[in-house]
Amino acid sequence: MKSRLQAFKQFTRFVSCKSCGVELQSKNPSVTGYYKPPRAVRKDAGTIEDLKYLMFTQELQLKKHEIGLLDPDTDPDYKEPIPKRLVCKRCVDAISHNRYNSSDFPIHSFNDIKGALPHAANVYHVVSLSDFPLSLDKTILAEKNNRNYLLLSKADQITYKSSMLPHKGSAFFAEFCRRHIGVHVKKVVLFSNPRNWNIPSVINALAKRCYLLGNPNVGKTSLINSLLHEKSTSFQAQLDKRGNVIGPPKGHEQIQSTRRRAIFNEGGVSHIPNFTRTMQTYLIEDKVVNDLPGYTMDPTKVSDLANYIEKETLDNIRKTSKFKIDKLIKQNYTSLTGSKTGKCLSFGGIFHLVPPNSTINQVVNYIPLPEHEFSNVEKAVSLSLEVLQSENHSLRQFFALKKPFTDIKMFDRHVIPPFNGAIEIVLKDIGYFQVKPTGKYGFNGLYELWVPKGIRVCIREPLSKLISKSYEKYIESGDIADVCPTDRPLISDTYIMNHTEEDTFARMREMYINRTSKDILSRRLLQKDPNDIVGTLQSPPSNLYWYYKW
């Protein structure tokens, strides 16, 4: 039996699934790669009228082509079927019918896929901006044997201005990697697949032979499909044992329409994580691009969201098409006032934001989840079980959490370090929302987010504003150091505390000292009275106790 690692080392020609890349077989439905061979279709002769019309349209196409008027991509008279390519049953069920089991999409570790990487490879680490930096793997960017690049996807989920991507965004994140993470990357490119933003910049950044590497659902295969549509001569290929390109696939060259040709070569894209099962190779112009399966940084700690959230709601969270860019433009918010009883704002009954007493907050939710206020977290969680047991409950639309996460014991209490102005709260593989206190500044306590155990959470300064303001400062000073602030941490983990902890501020100091015990140089502001720091509005923000473990 071949190990997964050995499977990724194979560079032999075989009939593979167009969508996931797995080797196909038609003998055993219970074995990986099963597909149903297409049936031979007998064409009816048709009526005389049908034949006359067919001859007329074919003659019309031929005449237009002869005089240079026929454009296969735009002419309505051009009729061209796309040749069929074989797809395994798993992918057909998932893509066409949204019918799947999570067990059919196993998790890959980095060790599972690293066998496909040659020594001294051109590695393009694809990272989602939606949950940045939780899908960024420092070990990939720190590998000195490789030439490392950073491709930041889903840029349309942090800004509605594509003009920010090529210069401001790239400069900011290049300096961010160097100064905050301690790694040097050869190039940074921000892009958006759904809106086709900055795709030419990605092509220009690609080396002659490169490898796309990243977590599941960060947009690697979607990027491949964008590249195929951008460059009409591109196609899906295979590699022989020596690494030479074999291709294009049968049927490619007979397609005249560039758009249809790109569709013919597209890889399978789905909101389901771990969809790609083996390395898939593409020739983009004269560049060999290898799309590797998404991998999980620490499979022992991964939490399958399918075990937490109802299927329909989870599908909506994962589908990039559900993100509404209007929210970035209009900034429509929910007003939330803190109370002594711990009033909370619940997001789909999945996680709950608790602001300090007497604070007035604007919450902008960029996650496709309904919001609802409850008197406290205990009330919200206890109601979730009641709601799930009654299909006709009046609050049914506000709850999507599965058992056993309908018990407060299954939740972690994430305490958020102090902040000035707005922050973005980020949840791994889910997205982010923004919290902005309003009115006269005053420190009334710490914010909390109650989340089912196992879901990673962090906070960050609002990315779009941070990038724009920093670039403006850089233009004024001419000092590249100003393109990304280094006077404070810009990202932080949260502090998970006991449900009964009362003095969260003092406990946070203890936890901060413990977290930084092996990173003394990252410690800040410990010589000052913390109450003095949070007692006054700081500009720029002090970000007391902010610390992120890369």
Span 407-412, mean pLDDT?
A: 95
The Cα–Cα gap between 324 and 367 comes to 9
CB 167 within 8 A of CB 178: no
Parallel, antiparallel or unpaired: strands 188-190 and 147-153: parallel
Tokens standing for 453?
A: 């155990």
Confidence check: pLDDT of 2 > 50: no
Confidence check: pLDDT of 87 > 90: no
The predicted structure's pLDDT at residue 238: 80
Tell me if 61 is assigned to some domain. Answer: no
Average pLDDT, the chain: 88
Per-residue pLDDT band for 79 (boundaries 50, 70, 90) equals low
Of 291, 319, 350, which marks where a domain is finished?
A: 291
The Cα–Cα gap between 384 and 233 comes to 53
Question: Which alpha helices (DSSP H) does 169-282 contain, by range?
Answer: 170-176, 199-205, 220-230, 258-265
Q: Are residues 311 and 355 in the same domain?
A: yes
The predicted structure's pLDDT at residue 5: 41
Q: Are residues 410 and 454 in the same domain?
A: yes
The predicted structure's pLDDT at residue 174: 97
Tell me if 164 is assigned to some domain. Answer: yes
Q: Which conformational region is residue 409 in: left (phi greater than 0), alpha (psi within -120 to 50 degrees), or beta? A: alpha
The Cα–Cα gap between 36 and 51 comes to 32
Span 410-419, mean pLDDT?
A: 98
Q: What is the pLDDT of residues 527-542, one digit of tens each?
A: 999 999 999 999 899 9
The predicted structure's pLDDT at residue 250: 78
Higher pLDDT, 61 or 339: 339
Q: Are residues 196 and 250 in the same domain?
A: yes
Q: What is the pLDDT of residues 447-475, one digit of tens each?
A: 999 999 999 999 999 999 999 999 999 99
The predicted structure's pLDDT at residue 233: 87
Q: Are residues 280 and 319 in the same domain?
A: no
Confidence check: pLDDT of 499 > 50: yes
Q: Are residues 212 and 328 in the same domain?
A: no
The Cα–Cα gap between 107 and 300 comes to 10
Q: What is the pLDDT of residues 307-332, one digit of tens each?
A: 899 989 999 999 888 888 999 999 99
Of 291, 318, 352, which marks where a domain is finished?
A: 291
Residue whose token pair is 């990038």: 467
Q: Per mean pLDDT, which range of 49-63, 206-220, 330-344, 376-390 is the poorest?
A: 49-63
Per-residue pLDDT band for 479 (boundaries 50, 70, 90) equals confident
Q: What is the pLDDT of residues 289-306, one digit of tens each?
A: 999 999 988 887 777 898
The predicted structure's pLDDT at residue 7: 43
**Single-letter amino acid, residue 330:** K
Domain count, the chain: 2
Tell me if 497 is assigned to some domain. Answer: yes
Q: Are residues 257 and 337 in the same domain?
A: no
Q: Are residues 257 and 131 in the same domain?
A: yes
Contacts of 192 (CB under 8 A, 6+ apart): 153, 154, 155, 156, 162, 165, 198
Per-residue pLDDT band for 47 (boundaries 50, 70, 90) equals low
Query: Order of strands across the sheet with 448-452?
Result: 371-374, 344-347, 351-354, 448-452, 411-415, 495-497
Tell me if 256 is assigned to some domain. Answer: yes
Residue whose token pair is 């951008």: 230
Per-residue pLDDT band for 77 (boundaries 50, 70, 90) equals very low
N residues, the chain: 550
Dihedral sign of CA atoms 177, 179, 180, 182 in order: positive
Confidence check: pLDDT of 505 > 90: yes
Confidence check: pLDDT of 148 > 80: yes
Tell me if 70 is assigned to some domain. Answer: no
Question: Which alpha helices (DSSP H) does 110-269 contain, by range?
Answer: 110-113, 138-141, 170-176, 199-205, 220-230, 258-265
Span 200-207, mean pLDDT?
A: 97
The predicted structure's pLDDT at residue 332: 95
Confidence check: pLDDT of 70 > 70: no
Tell me if 45 is assigned to some domain. Answer: no
What percent of the chain has a predicted confidence (pLDDT) above 90?
A: 60
The residue segments making up the domain with residue 20 are: 4-38+84-291
Tell me if 64 is assigned to some domain. Answer: no
Q: Are residues 284 and 330 in the same domain?
A: no
CB 517 within 8 A of CB 500: no
Q: Are residues 95 and 234 in the same domain?
A: yes
Tokens standing for 348?
A: 């789909």
The predicted structure's pLDDT at residue 35: 85
Q: Which residues pair with 237 in a beta bridge?
A: 281
Q: What is the CATH number of the domain that holds 153?
A: 3.40.50.300
Of 258, 291, 324, which marks where a domain is finished?
A: 291
DSSP run (H or E) holding 51: helix 48-66
Q: What is the pLDDT of residues 218-271, one digit of tens each?
A: 999 999 999 999 988 888 888 777 778 887 777 787 787 888 888 888 877 777
Helices (H) and strands (E) in the chain — how many of each?
Answer: 15, 20
Q: Are residues 105 and 254 in the same domain?
A: yes
Tell me if 437 is assigned to some domain. Answer: yes
Q: Are residues 258 and 326 in the same domain?
A: no
Per-residue pLDDT band for 481 (boundaries 50, 70, 90) equals confident
DSSP state of 219: S
Q: Per mean pLDDT, which range of 252-256, 405-409, 422-426, 478-482 is the poorest?
A: 252-256
Per-residue pLDDT band for 53 (boundaries 50, 70, 90) equals low
Q: Are residues 275 and 331 in the same domain?
A: no
Q: Which residues pair with 150 in a beta bridge?
A: 125, 188
